[in-house]
Structure 1
Amino acid sequence: MENGALKIWPQRDASGNFFNRTIDTDGKYAQTYGYFEMEAKLPKGKGTWPAFWLFAHPGDRRPEMDIMEAYAGGNGWGYTDASGIAHPTTYGATVWVGDYANHQAGFKMYDSGVDLSAAFHNYAVKWEANKQTYYFDGKEVLTVNVAMADPMYIILDLWFGSASGTPDGTTPTGKTNSYEVNYVRAWKFK
């Protein structure tokens, strides 16, 4: 924490590999339905994979709502500056019902048109009994009409790889390249 904001930054372990960081409310806080919002500035660099999501693990099922997953180094997910550093401009919102492997109920790649590592932005979902509506800075970007009723907990993470590629020497490390979170809020419906 610094100046009231949570900072999660890319860091290498003793062998030089980047390691994943996860903060979650599993076993501490879960909720069914409501409005979930985060205000954050994303890290830049090839291989960075910041996310904000809701998840549950009832039995063998794995329902999931990815409110924001960004891949700075992914093809078409951002741009590379003159220094060779990848910047995120696009992120994905996804709904996984979780009844069987890869049961995707909805997905949207949203091109914000701005560098998501340059300033803070809001990422949110309004989760109703039969519908999930996703927002970027208050603008609706995706609606998925599917029933999901399992209480879910909140996860913030900075992982590496996947569609963002493998981090390399161009991936900035340290606190100055943080996944910086001003707040995460969850509201219940009346």
Structure 2
Amino acid sequence: MLTFAEEFNRFDSTLWNDHIWYEKPNPTKNYTAENGMLKIWPQRDASGKFFNRTIDTDGRFEQRYGYFEMEAKLPRGKGTWPAFWLFAHPDKRRPEIDVMEAYAGGEDPWGYTDADGVSRPTSYGATVWLDEDVEAGKYQHQAKKDLSAAFHKYAVRWEPDRQTFYFDGKKIHTVEARMTDKMYIMLDLWFGSSSGEPDASTPQGKGNSFEINYVRAWQLKRFMNE
């Protein structure tokens, strides 16, 4: 059963937060919902630095188990670190399912640098975390195509003891891990990690957005009452 369907005809501030819970929102605007898409783009703020932007449903929507899918086109440029994940922060624990994390500026096979000197993503990671720093399993999917050139579907089927990841509807990896906390949806464009630090070669502005066409979630029949 479909339980969540965000088509981004507008930015619904009753459903989405524009910052992660432990930070204040950066006042520099680098996101919008237009033409049926959420767009988050690299931008320097008043201090001259690139800054992280998180759009999530913390406190607005959460679910235990199910099938979660995003259709998106990724940004390009050194330092860009777009992600789609499920997360919770109950008490001191930090369970997490990273459906997609890409690092355009990372070394091959994460991506490549084109003739204009701009890094482009060709792979992404999927990881399951039982808690902060307690990894249950990870996988690097080598799509072998420029993920910033077209839209693709990134998904996970989450069952109590198994998380199965999909790319464009095809199963790519399974992790055997017990995950039973309700989680909320996170979409973000951060900077750093395996992508390195952004620099003058990193395109700024709406034209280089992490473009999300939709995010949807379904509940599996046998877990309807969970």
TM-score bracket, shorter-length normalisation: over 0.9
1:93 and 1:175 map into 2 onto residues whose CA distance is: 26
Q: CA RMSD in A?
A: 0.7
The one of 51, 57, 81 equivalent to 2:83 is 51
Q: In the alignment, what sits opposite 1:93? A: 126
1:68 corresponds to 2:100 = yes
Offset at 1:15?
Answer: 2.1
After superposition, where does 1:4-153 map in structure 2 within 5 Å?
4-76=36-108, 77-98=110-131, 101-153=132-184
Q: Provide the rounded CA distance (Å) in 1 between the counterparts of 2:38 and 2:133.
A: 31
Aligned to 2:192: 161
Counterpart-to-counterpart distance in 2, 1:54 and 1:119: 23
Q: Report the Cα distance in structure 1 between the residues aligned to 2:47 and 2:55, rounded to whole angstroms.
A: 23
How many residue pairs get matched? 188
Q: What's the offset of the Cα at 1:158?
A: 0.2
SS at match of 1:44: coil
Percent identity between matched residues is 69
Measure the CA separation in 2 of the matches of 1:75 and 1:64: 25
CA–CA distance in 2 between the matches of 1:16 and 1:58? 35
* Alignment partners' CA distance in 1, 2:170 and 2:120: 22
Give, in angstroms, the shift of residue 145 of structure 1.
0.9
The higher relative CO (CA closer than 8 Å, separation ≥ 6) is in 1
Q: Partners of 1:158 and 1:168 in 2: how far apart? A: 16
Q: 2:144 is matched by which residue type in structure 1?
A: G
TM-score (norm 1): 0.98
Question: Could you tell me how far apart the structure 2 residues matched to 1:6 and 1:40 are?
Answer: 9
What's the TM-score once normalised by structure 2's chain length?
Answer: 0.82
Structure 2: which 5+ residue stretches go unaligned?
1-32, 222-226
C-alpha separation in 2, matches of 1:24 and 1:6: 12
Output the CA distance in 1 between the equivalents of 2:104 and 2:112: 8
Q: Which runs of 4+ in 1 moved over 6 A?
A: none
Give the equivalent residue in structure 1 for 2:10: none
Distance 2:89 2:52 in 1: 20
Give SS of 1:97's match. Answer: strand
Unmatched runs of 5 consecutive residues or more in structure 1: none
User: SS state of the match for residue 34, structure 2?
Assistant: coil
Structure 1 distance, partners of 2:101, 2:72, is: 12
